[in-house]
Amino acid sequence: MEPALGLYVHVPYCRVKCHYCDFAAFSGQKRTAGRYLRALEREAGFWEGCAPETLYVGGGTPSELERGQIADLFGLIRRVFPAAGFREISFEANPESLDGDKIALLKEMGVGRLSLGLQTPDDALLKSIGRLHTASDFHGVFGEARAAGIAVSVDLMYGLPGQTAAGFGAGLREVLDLEPEHLSLYGLQVEDRTLFARRGVESDEELCRRMFEGAIEALTLAGYEHYEISNFAKPGHQSKHNRLYWKNGEYIGLGCGAASFWKGRRSTNHDRLIPYIEAVEAGARPVSFSEELSGKDRLGEAAMLGLRLVSEGVSVAGEMGEAFHLSWRHLEEQGLVRIAAGRARLTGEGVFLANRAFSEFVPPYREGDGAPHGTFHAA
Ligand SMILES: C[S@@+](CC[C@H](N)C(=O)[O-])C[C@H]1O[C@@H](n2cnc3c(N)ncnc32)[C@H](O)[C@@H]1O
């Protein structure tokens, strides 16, 4: 059975900011960590009585915290959520800030999944995107996590400036030789407010597509299931926590920039560090945006999230089919979606053009869509 409630905790510290990164992550701010952890505990208090079943500590770079701070973080979570029965605990880490002692502590705290940010095992490329670690640092911590019996997910990026299809393929093979339980593959997005945007870096869609196609083939051959657009898992190793997002489940997000979805309401916290901390210290909920989706917008959101689950897709039974019957038909005609046995799934082409498919599910909707009950019949 899928978990009913997830807990995400954001740790916004990084030693340096990567040239492509637009996340709520700050360098040179670690002196605020004690204050931040106290704010997290106070914010968590707003959710007292909840019993989350998955925990994901993400960032930023959670492994930037000192050992004692990591222990404090898990301590506060256990104090505020004594009823939590975590079926999965994931922790994000960078090779330069992880070591055997921290890995042993994570194991003791119940972490069963480590999400390691590698991006590429090419040292020159790593340097050029602002990373502080080398491929060899990555291999070291990977081996230690393995020895501790922690499952590892590796983040890789494609479409980086100067990266070739052959280079990306070789890097992927190097990682596959280690047989990680899970891989996340992200095509470079040049986000505003990043060094890459200021430098005018552009992504080459054709090259990205070739790299991603090659990766899907290699990963499938190596026994990974392509279960979500960017995610691949060995059998039994899909991320339970992230699946909850894609299944439109409920989750609590604590910390700077974190998002929650609870009783039909989505909310996002302040994404700047000090305003987040100050709001909590003043006794307020640190929320900067909140909305309740209803009717067609709620279904549209569920359609976009569900389609991300490549192999599973989303049910188009009932109102989901009816509300978007013109869109579903259009997507099928375009070859972006296939509908079978009452479920819609992205096609191979749809995986590459997912954003085009998703645009059907955000307003303005197709005119005339939203037929009365009974007029959409899923094959
Ligand atoms: C929350 S970040 C992980 C941060 C982690 N501290 C690290 O540096 O590896 C999650 C992943 O998103 C991906 N990512 C971040 N920014 C991206 C961008 N602009 N384009 C594509 N992928 C990105 C990277 O692969 C990164 O590992």
Please name the residue whose Cα sits nearest to atom 11 of ligand 1: 155
User: What is the pLDDT of the chain when averaged over all its residues?
Assistant: 95
**Sheet order of strands, 113-119 included:** 225-228, 231-233, 182-187, 151-158, 113-119, 88-93, 54-59, 5-11, 250-254, 259-262, 265-269, 287-292
Average pLDDT score over residue span 361-370: 86
What confidence tier does 197 reach under pLDDT thresholds 50, 70, 90? very high
At 294, the pLDDT band (50, 70, 90 cuts) reads: confident
For a mutational test of ligand 1's pocket, the pick from 8, 19, 20, i.e. the residue with the most ligand atoms closer than 8 A to its C-beta, is 20
> Which of 92, 155, 193 for a ligand 1 pocket mutation test, highest count of atoms within 8 Å of Cβ?
155
Task: Give the mean pLDDT of 169-174.
Answer: 98
Q: Does 231 sit in the ligand 1 pocket, CB within 6 Å?
A: no
Task: State the pLDDT at residue 372.
Answer: 46
CA 309 – CA 87 distance, rounded (Å): 21
119 lines ligand 1 (CB under 6 A): yes
Structure-model confidence comparison of residues 83 and 126, the more confident one: 126
Helices (runs of H) and strands (runs of E) counted in the chain? 15, 15
Per-residue pLDDT, 166: 97
Tell me the C-alpha distance between 266 and 251, whole Å: 10
- What is the 74 CA–ligand 1 centroid distance (Å)? 23
Instruction: Give the confidence band of 213 by pLDDT, cuts at 50, 70, 90.
Output: very high
- pLDDT band, residue 295 (cuts 50/70/90): confident
Tell me if 89 CB under 6 Å of ligand 1: no
Gap from CA of 186 to ligand 1 centroid (Å) = 8
| pLDDT above 80: residue 370 | no
Q: With pLDDT > 90 as the criterion, what percentage of the chain qualifies? A: 93
* Mean pLDDT to the nearest integer, 156-169: 97
- Evaluate: CB of 25 within 6 angstroms of ligand 1: no
Q: Name the pLDDT band for 377 (thresholds 50, 70, 90).
A: low
Please report the pLDDT score of residue 375 as a whole number: 47
Q: Is the CB of 249 under 6 A from ligand 1?
A: no
The count of C-alpha atoms lying within 13 angstroms of the C-alpha of 266, restricted to the half-sphere facing its C-beta, is 12
pLDDT class of 3 with cuts at 50, 70, 90? confident
Considering only residues 140 and 373, tell me which one the structure prediction assigns the higher pLDDT. Answer: 140
The 10s digit of each residue's pLDDT in 239-257 is 999 999 999 999 999 999 9
The arithmetic mean of pLDDT across residues 332-351, rounded, is: 97
Contact 305, 331 (CB under 8 A): no
Instruction: Tell me the per-residue pLDDT of 25-78, one tens digit each, with 9 for 90 and over.
Output: 999 999 999 999 999 999 999 999 999 999 999 999 999 999 999 999 999 999
Q: What pLDDT, on the 0 to 100 scale, is given for residue 371?
A: 52
- In this predicted structure, the answer to whether residue 378 has a pLDDT above a threshold of 60 is no
Whether 368 has a pLDDT exceeding 90, the answer reads: no
Ligand 1: centre distance to CA 117 (Å): 7
- Rounded Cα distance between 331 and 37, Å, is 46
- Given a cut of 60, whether residue 373 has pLDDT beyond it is no
Q: Determine the pLDDT at residue 379.
A: 46
- Domains of the chain (ranges; CATH) run 5-244 (3.20.20.70), 295-361 (1.10.10)
* CA dist 45 → 50, 91, 158, 254, 313 (Å): 10, 22, 40, 10, 36
Give mean pLDDT, residues 93-107. 98
Q: Which protein residue's CA is at the shortest distance from atom 21 of ligand 1? A: 188
With a cut of 90, say whether residue 219 has pLDDT above it. Answer: yes
Query: How many residues comprise the chain?
Result: 379
Burial 263-280 (b: 16+ CB within 10 A, else e): eeeebbbbbebeebbebb
pLDDT digits (tens, 9 = 90+) for 301-337: 999 999 999 999 999 999 999 999 999 999 999 999 9
